[in-house]
Amino acid sequence: MADDPVVAESGVLSAPAEAWGLAVRRAEVIRELAAQRVVSLEDADAAASRLGVSRRQVYVLVGRWRAGGGVASDLLPGTSSGGRGGGRLPDEVEAVVREVLRTRYLARQRRTVASVYREIARECRVRGLRVPSRGTVLRRIAMLVIFGDK
């Protein structure tokens, strides 16, 4: 039992069981490769076959293992940031953008895009939120024009 390799973890309690299991399986393979000074193509290909990933992904995982603390949580799969066209703003910022656009831009006396953006930026700063880019606000306005107010 003392000879069994133990996969260390850094206390990631929020990872789903499936993601955690994947990280542990990856760690069992990647730990051995990361201990080598240079990872050969043959070793990378063998690891890729065992893990069901590409050779390039093996090298990425080895890099993450070496850059991190050498724990399984370094190899947890990443989460998508929304992809192209997906919303990436936190819900609180999205609510501010919607509210200001609804009350200031979609009003009878429509304000300029510049003044609406300044209002959104001011409101976000007051609430301690990240200020969205002007381009993000312009895209939200374009969506209103195309799809109407939802």
At residue 73, the pLDDT reads 80
- Per-residue confidence (pLDDT) for residue 117, from 0 to 100: 94
User: Is 62 found in the same domain as 29?
Assistant: yes
- Asked if 65 and 75 touch (Cβ cutoff 8 Å), the reply is yes
Percent of the chain exceeding pLDDT 70 equals 80
How high is the mean pLDDT of the chain? 82
Q: In which domain, by residue range, is 124 found?
A: 91-147
State residue 86's pLDDT score. Answer: 60
- What letter represents residue 41's amino acid? L
Residues 23 and 71 in one domain: yes
148 falls in which pLDDT band (50, 70, 90)? low
120-142: average pLDDT: 91
Count Cβ atoms within 10 A of the Cβ of residue 150 and give its class: 0-12 exposed, 13-18 middle, 19 or more buried. Answer: exposed
Do 98 and 51 fall into the same domain?
no
